[in-house]
Amino acid sequence: MNRALWLWGILFALWLLLSGHFETLFIVFGLVTCTVAVWVSVRMGVVDRESMPVHLLGRAVAYVPWLVWEVFKSNVRVARIILSPRMRLDPSIVHFRASQATDLGRFIYANSITLTPGTVTTGVTGDDMEVHAIVQSEIDGSEENDMNRRVAVLEGKDPK
């Protein structure tokens, strides 16, 4: 129920921001539309922990800036590789163990790995992450362990 309210609030905020109209008629249209959309979503059973992960919202405030900084650092690293006259590539497929408890946590971890250039998640089987890395020697696991730990914290699990 709480999640349905969150969904309604987000939808209505989007309605107001994207339309830019604040006349009574349009606001009433928005109220009705959002209510119907939320009612249909609840009936379909698609409003759950995975589609509306509002329980992560507070901790995501700490995770997202860290992730953006990581993305920036690895962008610079890949740019240096591409711009160097002799590209020092050593591409290979490596495996990491994900310590997240939920599918949502693993999804966030896999997407975070892919979002940082230089590493792309090619497959997830259980807690095994199959990752293609552009330079294997730079992937010693320390940065990925850090990311793994932070995503585990994000999903609310005590890090080991």
The answer to whether 128 contacts another protein (rule: CB under 8 A) is: no
Site for another protein contains 1 (CB under 8 A): no
DSSP strand pairing (119-125 vs 128-133): antiparallel
3: part of which helix (H) or strand (E)?
A: helix 2-19
Nearer CB in complex with another protein: 4/78: 78
Q: How far apart are CA 85 and CA 51, in angstroms?
A: 45
49 to 88: interface string for another protein, x by CB under 8 A = -------------------x--xx--x--xx--xx--xx-
Give how far the C-alpha of residue 14 lies from the chain's centroid of Cα atoms, to the nearest Å.
Answer: 20
The C-alpha atoms of residue 39 and residue 7 are separated, in whole angstroms, by 10
- Which is closer to another protein, CB of 37 or CB of 130? 130
* Count of CB atoms situated within 10 Å of the CB of 30: 18
**27 counts as binding another protein under rule CB under 8 A:** no
Q: Which stretch binds another protein (CB under 8 A): 23-31, 36-44, 47-55, 114-122?
A: 114-122
What is the smallest separation between the CB atom of 117 and another protein, expressed in angstroms?
A: 4
In this structure, the number of other CB atoms found within 10 A of the CB of residue 38 comes to 21
Pick one of 32, 62, 89, 101: the residue that binds another protein (CB under 8 A). 89
Going from the C-alpha of 3 to that of each of 52, 66, 78, the distances in angstroms are 6, 26, 40
The identity of residue 115, as a single letter, is: L
Binding footprint of another protein on the chain (CB under 8 A): 16-18, 20, 68, 71-72, 75, 78-79, 82-83, 86-87, 89-93, 110-112, 114-123, 132, 134
